[in-house]
Amino acid sequence: MDRYDLPSRDLKLARREARQERTVVRLGNGAAFGGDTLAVCAGPCSVESSEQIEATAKAVAAAGANVLRGGAFKPRTSPYAFQGLGERGLVMLRTAADRHGLAVVTEVLDPRDVPMVANYADMLQIGARNMQNFALLREAGHSGKPVLLKRGLSATVEEWLMAAEYVLLAGNDKVVLCERGIRSFDSETRNLLDLSVVPLLAARTHLPVVVDPSHGTGVARLVPPMALAAVAAGADGLLVEVHPDPAGAASDGAQSITPDEFSTLMRELAGIAAAVGRRLPAKTLAA
């Protein structure tokens, strides 16, 4: 009899029972996903200039972030929209991060670019649109670099975990899942941030989970409350878009918060983190 083959039977490496301990993914500067200390990734949607990324790195490090985010290869809906600065942007991102003691997470769009992007990044971001790009997942797996795997635009938890399984199967167990909102019927927000997956995934997988309230809502004003809620729900970290001039941003300005707003968020986060037994990253001296 033909019937739908439940993929969960194949969840050999990502499922919770596959490991005794929960996975902790560590980056070179000491940032860790899955430990007592939260991982806080912050930075612009796109790297736009060395001045922009330097100002942002300085501000987010001073506020207590430990990972700098920024896209140099952008997955844009329109082929006419800003596509990113490419390798030139990666150089700017790496330079700014090193100056302020931050690790780097950045998106790789094309399997052929994995070795080059891995040269500059501490962690490879697989974007929502590429969650089921299996060639890219395998290539990122083989790179051995930590991978931040975003949830697909309308991916089920099952599909998302199967995508993680591809990276694990390539011999790379450094995978962090990132909830970034899913499509819904309501256009009040860009996406519907599914915070219920945070405690749900804790039972389904040993992999750490972070939340991106920026793409999850698409509305800057909603980012701080959802970031606090994510940590309260047990997230291992955050990915937040921060831009020194959101109105002038080349991409995702409407959901980007300012350095001042980020700094306020980090102060508020300290209390929430303590309430759930977590700590904020220690500020680096270089900041």
Closest to 10 (Cα-Cα) out of 139, 202, 159: 159
Q: Is the dihedral of CA 137, 143, 146, 148 positive or negative?
A: negative
Over the window 9 to 48, marking each residue x when it contacts Mn ion by CB under 5 A and - when it does not, the resulting string is ------------------------------------x---
Amino acid making up residue 17: E
Interface segment toward ligand PEP; rule CB under 6 A; list 58-66, 93-101, 122-130, 266-274:
122-130
> How many residues sit in the footprint of ligand PEP (CB under 6 A)?
9
Nearest residue to Mn ion on Cβ basis:
45
Over the window 75 to 114, marking each residue x when it contacts ligand PEP by CB under 6 A and - when it does not, the resulting string is x---------------------------------------
| Residue closer to ligand PEP, measured from CB, 13 or 71 | 71
Burial of 17 (0-12, 13-18, 19+ CB in 10 A): exposed
Q: Which does 128 bind (CB under 5 to 8 A by kind): ligand PEP, Mn ion, none?
A: ligand PEP
Whole-number minimum distance, CB 172 to ligand PEP, in Å? 20
Contacts of residue 261, defined as CB under 8 A and 6 or more positions apart, other chains included, come to 220, 223, 224, 242
Q: By CB under 6 A, tell whether 71 contacts ligand PEP.
A: yes
**How far is 107 from 71, CA to CA, in rounded Å?**
6
Over the window 129 to 158, marking each residue x when it contacts ligand PEP by CB under 6 A and - when it does not, the resulting string is x--------------------x--------
Other Cβ atoms less than 10 A from the Cβ of 9: the count is 7
Whole-number minimum distance, CB 194 to ligand PEP, in Å? 13
Q: Which does 174 bind (CB under 5 to 8 A by kind): Mn ion, ligand PEP, none?
A: none
* Torsion angle of the four alpha carbons 178, 54, 76, 129, in this order, in degrees rounded to the nearest 10: -20
**How far is 136 from 59, CA to CA, in rounded Å?**
33
Which residues bind to ligand PEP, rule: CB under 6 A? 45, 71, 75, 127-129, 150, 180, 215
